[in-house]
């Protein structure tokens, strides 16, 4: 972020903070009665301000993860919680996340000023999330470190598991069916080619596998 943008944000944050102080002072003064026993009903009533503290951040570029996001957004105000959406299968970023600030004024200014901010050739999409739209389970497990499953190891274990004779027979039968379809496609294409015979229909114990649909 450039120096001019930072200076502009600081001014807006200071102005927002001053408005918050003024509003609280008016609220406190309205709780007291004047000497004649009448309340000060002529105090200008301000429009109810947005109390949302959660912002949505979309189009997050690759490499801009939790630590980088916290370091970038904490310059505007204290970040209470932060969550980057990640894939359960691979652990990679889904390129969107949520940030909660302690001060709603800071969240409002960030949503207004950082929206469409160019970061690593990505225009950040930042929007304020109304309190009623915040999901109850949005922050569940946010402090827990993410450990993606090692799918290669799981698939390797499944592929290399010890099979029974029946399981091995089903596996070989499927291979033979696919091999027969492949031979037929080659023949239909008019290609004269003698495919080598499949020799894997013999069990490791050197016993011929007998399928259920085969006749004796």
Which CATH number is 135's domain given?
3.30.70.330
- Output phi, psi for 11, to 5 deg: -65, -45
Determine the Cα–Cα distance for residues 165 and 87; give it in Å rounded to an integer.
Answer: 38
Full domain range(s) for residue 103: 8-13+48-148
Domains: count for the chain: 2
For helices 3-29 and 104-114, the axis angle rounded to 10 degrees is: 150
- Do 191 and 134 share a structural domain? no
Return all residues near 142 (Cβ < 8 A) that are at least 6 apart.
81, 82, 83
**Residue 31 in domain:** no
- Do 58 and 139 share a structural domain? yes
pLDDT for position 40: 45
- Do 126 and 180 share a structural domain? no
Q: End of a domain among 116, 148, 180?
A: 148
**Residue 189 in domain:** yes
pLDDT for position 143: 66
Determine the Cα–Cα distance for residues 82 and 189; give it in Å rounded to an integer.
Answer: 59
pLDDT for position 124: 92
pLDDT for position 7: 64
**Residue 38 in domain:** no
- Do 188 and 97 share a structural domain? no
- Do 142 and 52 share a structural domain? yes
- Do 175 and 136 share a structural domain? no
Determine the Cα–Cα distance for residues 82 and 102; give it in Å rounded to an integer.
Answer: 12
* Burial degree of 58 (CB within 10 A; 0-12, 13-18, 19+): middle
pLDDT for position 47: 43
pLDDT for position 110: 92
Distance of CA 199 to the CA centre of its chain: 48
Q: End of a domain among 95, 123, 148?
A: 148
**Quick one: which of 137, 214, 138 has its CA closest to 176?**
214
pLDDT for position 32: 42
**Quick one: which of 184, 160, 155, 182 has its CA closest to 171?**
160
- Do 138 and 69 share a structural domain? yes
pLDDT for position 11: 64
pLDDT for position 90: 77
pLDDT for position 140: 83
Q: Which parts of the chain register pLDDT below 70?
A: 1-50, 143-149, 199-216
pLDDT for position 39: 44
Whole-structure pTM over 0.75, yes or no?
no
**Residue 169 in domain:** yes
């Amino acid at each position: 972020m450039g120096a001019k943008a930072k200076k502009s944000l600081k001014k807006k944050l200071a102005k927002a903070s001053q408005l918050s102080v003024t509003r609280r002072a008016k609220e406190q003064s309205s709780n007291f009665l004047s000497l004649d026993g009448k309340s000060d009903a002529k105090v200008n009533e301000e429009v109810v301000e947005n109390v949302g503290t959660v912002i949505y951040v979309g189009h997050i570029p690759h490499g801009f993860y939790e630590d980088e996001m916290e370091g970038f957004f904490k310059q505007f105000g204290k970040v209470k919680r932060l969550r980057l959406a990640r894939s359960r299968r691979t652990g990679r970023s889904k390129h969107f996340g949520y940030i909660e600030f302690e001060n709603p004024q800071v969240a409002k200014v960030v949503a207004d000023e950082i929206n469409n901010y160019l970061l690593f050739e990505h225009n950040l999409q930042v929007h304020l999330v109304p309190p009623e739209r915040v999901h109850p389970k949005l922050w569940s497990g946010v402090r827990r470190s993410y450990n993606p499953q090692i799918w290669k190891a799981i698939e390797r274990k499944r592929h290399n598991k010890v099979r029974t004779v029946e399981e091995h027979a089903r596996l070989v039968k499927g291979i033979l069916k696919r091999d027969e379809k492949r031979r037929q496609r080659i023949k239909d294409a008019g290609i004269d080619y003698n495919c080598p015979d499949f020799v894997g229909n013999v069990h490791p114990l050197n016993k011929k596998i007998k399928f259920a649909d085969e006749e004796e």
